[in-house]
């Protein structure tokens, strides 16, 4: 049998009551109920990508903006060009 390691959790009296009631409804011990719930969350997050910090997101946005500037060295209003193109297409239909 694999060794087990203890987990310590502190709860307010209200939290303890709520968890105890939920465990009783499932005919589980409080420890078993909390461990099962925690493992379900941990498993669901296993393949999730880690969250990025605000600084990381800003660096990604800046890099994307730099790439767009490189692709549009004349600083053309590409959105306006697209709108005009769509208007010409609509007028010719």
At 34, give phi and psi (nearest 5°): -65, -40
Number of folded domains that form the chain:
2
| Residue 6, in any domain of the structure | no
Whether residue 65 is found in the same domain as residue 40: no
pLDDT band at 2 (very low <50, low <70, confident <90, very high): confident
Sign of torsion, CA 62 64 69 75? negative
Whether residue 66 is found in the same domain as residue 87: yes
CA–CA distance, 72 with 23 (Å, rounded to integer): 61
Whether residue 87 is found in the same domain as residue 60: yes
Task: Report the pLDDT value the prediction gives residue 12, as an integer from 0 to 100.
Answer: 95
Could you tell me which residues come within 8 angstroms of residue 9 by beta carbon, excluding any fewer than 6 positions away? 34
Whether residue 61 is found in the same domain as residue 38: no
pLDDT band at 73 (very low <50, low <70, confident <90, very high): confident
Task: Report the pLDDT value the prediction gives residue 89, as an integer from 0 to 100.
Answer: 94
Whether residue 58 is found in the same domain as residue 35: no
CA–CA distance, 23 with 34 (Å, rounded to integer): 8
Whether residue 41 is found in the same domain as residue 58: no
| Residue 2, in any domain of the structure | no
Question: What totals of helices (H) and strands (E) does the chain contain, helices first?
Answer: 4, 0
Mean pLDDT of the chain: 92
Domain coverage including residue 78? 54-92
| Residue 74, in any domain of the structure | yes
What are 16-60's pLDDT values in tens digits? 999 999 999 999 999 999 999 999 999 988 888 888 999 999 999
| Residue 1, in any domain of the structure | no
| Residue 35, in any domain of the structure | yes
CA 3 to chain centre: 33
At 73, give phi and psi (nearest 5°): -65, -25
């Amino acid at each position: 049998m694999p060794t087990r390691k203890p987990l310590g959790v502190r709860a307010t009296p209200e939290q303890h009551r709520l968890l105890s009631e939920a465990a009783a409804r499932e005919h589980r011990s409080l420890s078993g109920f909390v461990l099962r719930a925690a493992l379900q969350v941990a498993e669901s997050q296993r393949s999730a990508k880690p969250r990025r910090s605000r600084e990381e997101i800003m660096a990604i946005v800046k890099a994307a903006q730099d790439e767009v500037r490189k692709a549009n060295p004349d600083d053309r209003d590409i959105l306006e060009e697209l709108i005009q193109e769509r208007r010409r297409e609509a007028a010719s239909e």
